[in-house]
Structure 1
Amino acid sequence: MKKTIISLIILNMLFGSNLDQQLKIAGGNAHQIKKAITEVPKEQLAGMEWLIKNMQKEDLKSLSAEFLLTNCELAHDVWQNNKWGKKIPEDIFLNFLLPYVSLNERRDNWRQDFHNRFSTIIKNTNSIYNAVALLNQSIYDNVGVIYSTDRPKADQSPYESIDAGMASCTGLSILLIDACRSVGIPARFVGTPLWYNNSGNHSWVEIWDDEWHFTGAAEPTGEKLNEAWFSDLASKAVQGDMTYGIFAATWEKTDIYFPMNWLPQVKTYNAIDVTARYRLQEVETVLIPIRVRALDSSGQRCEVRVTVIGDDNSIKEGFSKDKTCDANDHLTFMLPKGKTFKVQSEEVEKTIKVINEELIDLKL
């Protein structure tokens, strides 16, 4: 008891009034928070302090000391002992490797299990960049999760997605982020509430390897990052706009919140506006994106060959996306403004004049 009292006095000096405030919020769970901060090893104290100082109210009221201590221990261990840990600065570790969640998803104890599952996949990689590309190619088959709009809910935790065998872009992103963090890779949740053309929202993942790189969860592009079907859409996002901007979740307190489509009334999760990084990819062009969606007799998206023929008999071809792809991921042709084209698939043909970007439905 005497040791605990002394520890709390020291911690009050370190935390300042913030500790008392957090313990007051914790209410009946305050003893668990006290236990976590008095029993954490000295070399992990700064990390535990950071977690508690920026923790959501619901977590202060519900998380056990065992959960927090285990998370803190495993996160520090993988930071200190993996081959790229020394290149990860402390502020990156605290915000994007140490946290046990990204947003409001259920709090799962995933760290040890995911490390056991996924560390062998990347054991021969020589960089974080290469490791993430490999994880994105591998983990979803490993755990048996596919993209589907039939998923139980948007904001699934990793084990909720594994149990369901399916997830939306949100759940898929959370799964990849936790897989990355489990093997010592800083990762964060990124998304936009609405694309500039009002076609829908999307979530994806950024990882840190000397700088931030992005990738679509369960949407690998071979060995490369910073390539995705949504790059053109993202390049037209609006900085500073809580509807049309692009935001990254962070643990530290900031001046803006992460806008969650599935819980629009909740504005307590911290965010960084990263729109400018994506707008740098914008290129002035007279080419207009024309997106094509093929629908079978039941109205489901299906994969078929699509041919686009111009007035000059130029031909472009590609395959439409089926229901396993993100609902906003469509076969896209960049076509010159003002020109007329025939869009064909099987027995269906449509003639279009390219004025503004549009989505063409081919009902087979």
Structure 2
Amino acid sequence: MSRLFILFSVCLLVSCSGVYKQVSPSIKSKTVESLSKVTPERKKELEASIKNLPASQREGMAFLIAYMSKADLDTLPAELLTSNVKLAYKARETFPWAKEVPLPVFYNEVLPYASMDETREDWRPAFYDMLYPLVKDLTDIHQAVDTINKSLRGLVKVEYNTKRKKPNQSPSESMKISMASCSGLSILLTDAFRAAGIPSRVAGTPLWVSKEGNHNWSEVYIDGQWYFTEYYPDALNKGWFLDRAGKADKSNPIHWIYATSYKHDGLAFPMVWARRDSTVGGVDVTDRYIELYQKQLVEKAKGIAVTIRMYKAEQCTLDSDGRVAETITIKNAKGDTVASGKTAGPTDDMNLYLTVSLPEPGEYTIEYTTAKGLRKDVVEIKEPKEIRLYFN
């Protein structure tokens, strides 16, 4: 063996040990495997992005590279990766709840620069600067989640709208036009949570078992458990879609409930706008939603479920813009209020509608305001039903 070859081998070993210092063997092995698929120039660039970080942050960068899609592996700017990693670790060092997040969860649900196949961009600096003043004095992750949930909509000025340009918009794309789909809103919310060091991922189904379309929302990880929430928040693990998610058909994957995962272990997260794309990792979380729904059923009184929708006029029932958001009050025969709520308006998710539970069969009065003033409709309710009201 020539002295030149030996010298080259020693230099290569020293170089690699410097790149992967503080990186666990399992992540190092997967990273080396991923980098074997790119050009020598790209490999050198990505290895430099690992080596140039503080030793405590190198494993995080290596993890991102290890499980990166081939498209991102080939094209994602190293500067974006570096900025993303540095700010993710800054959040971990800054916020008390972030310090407690287990490293595997931090790597997979805080550190990632994207949730699905949205346009890649450096969103983390803007979100960090936006949210830091709101959560900097908080000590509890529940408070932080609640604060972000309630504040984000007013900060980014984005509303649900079917006229958005595409379903999988990045944060800046949604904020530019002030509208997004449920998927775009979920990306916004998940990125906001991650910017504050809160583990988050997108969840959803490609098709409700009722065949009423798809839906996406967000999940957050608190004290070892995953909870669901969304851009228009209710309490954690409370939401209009739980009754649908809880009826998922386990025998058919198209009706499963999925959560995204940066680390791809074989199951793909289904994206209805890119049905053949299997590059986004997924986790089957159907059983958890079925269990949550069953618990909700036990907690609820044995009432009668009534769905209420309001439209501008009878001819507007197929148009999102034809929906009217109006407060509904339902009273029993004695005049006591037994239920109330607000119908879905034109900017609400197309899957959203008002559902109330009435205590028993009987005659009820539905009160609401129309263009002509207060209206009272007397309705006989004997079983679950849908009621359509009109504003004109």
Query: Taking structure 1 as the reference length, what is the TM-score of the superposition?
Result: 0.87
Matches within 5 A, 1:210-225: 210-221=223-234, 224-225=235-236
Unaligned 5+ runs, structure 1? none
- Residue 7 (structure 1) aligns with: 15
Letter in 1 for 2:353: H
Residue 126 to residue 16, structure 1, CA distance change in 2 (3 Å):
closer
- Residue 106 (structure 1) aligns with: 119
- Residue 323 (structure 1) aligns with: 346
Letter in 1 for 2:350: A
Matches within 5 A, 1:1-364: 6-8=14-16, 14=25, 15-16=28-29, 19-25=32-38, 29-221=42-234, 224-239=235-250, 241-281=252-292, 282=294, 283=297, 287-297=303-313, 299=316, 300-306=322-328, 308=330, 316-335=339-358, 359-364=386-391
For residues 149 and 30 of structure 2, the distance between their equivalents in structure 1, rounded to whole angstroms, comes to: 42
> Which range moves more in the overlay, 134-143 or 225-234?
225-234
Report how far residue 258 of structure 1 moved.
Answer: 0.5
> Which range moves more in the overlay, 202-211 or 336-345?
336-345
> Which range moves more in the overlay, 339-348 or 119-128?
339-348
For residues 218 and 268 of structure 1, the distance between their equivalents in structure 2, rounded to whole angstroms, comes to: 25
Residue 205 to residue 27, structure 1, CA distance change in 2 (3 Å):
farther
For residues 160 and 98 of structure 1, the distance between their equivalents in structure 2, rounded to whole angstroms, comes to: 21
Residue 134 to residue 286, structure 1, CA distance change in 2 (3 Å):
same
Deviations 1:78-119 (A, max 9, x none): 213322233111011011011111111111101122111111
SS in 1 for 2:239: coil
Report how far residue 349 of structure 1 moved.
Answer: 5.4
Residue 319 to residue 56, structure 1, CA distance change in 2 (3 Å):
same
Deviations 1:31-65 (A, max 9, x none): 43233233333222211121111101110111122
Counterpart contact for 2:311–2:389, Cα < 8 Å: yes
Unaligned 5+ runs, structure 2? 1-7, 317-321
Residue 354 to residue 129, structure 1, CA distance change in 2 (3 Å):
same
Aligned residues: 361
Report how far residue 313 of structure 1 moved.
Answer: 8.1
Letter in 1 for 2:308: V
Residue 352 to residue 154, structure 1, CA distance change in 2 (3 Å):
farther
> Which range moves more in the overlay, 113-122 or 338-347?
338-347
Cα RMSD over matched residues? 3.1
For residues 108 and 349 of structure 1, the distance between their equivalents in structure 2, rounded to whole angstroms, comes to: 52
Max Rg structure = 2
Counterpart contact for 1:30–1:60, Cα < 8 Å: no
For residues 338 and 254 of structure 1, the distance between their equivalents in structure 2, rounded to whole angstroms, comes to: 50
Report how far residue 131 of structure 1 moved.
Answer: 0.6
For residues 220 and 330 of structure 2, the distance between their equivalents in structure 1, rounded to whole angstroms, comes to: 37
> Which range moves more in the overlay, 191-200 or 331-340?
331-340
Counterpart contact for 1:204–1:214, Cα < 8 Å: no
Residue 118 to residue 195, structure 1, CA distance change in 2 (3 Å):
same
For residues 48 and 365 of structure 2, the distance between their equivalents in structure 1, rounded to whole angstroms, comes to: 69
Counterpart contact for 1:7–1:38, Cα < 8 Å: no
Counterpart contact for 2:80–2:121, Cα < 8 Å: no
Counterpart contact for 1:54–1:251, Cα < 8 Å: yes
- Residue 319 (structure 2) aligns with: none
Residue 86 to residue 52, structure 1, CA distance change in 2 (3 Å):
same
Report how far residue 279 of structure 1 moved.
Answer: 1.5
Counterpart contact for 1:37–1:49, Cα < 8 Å: yes
Counterpart contact for 1:242–1:259, Cα < 8 Å: no
Residue 228 to residue 34, structure 1, CA distance change in 2 (3 Å):
same
> Which range moves more in the overlay, 332-341 or 102-111?
332-341
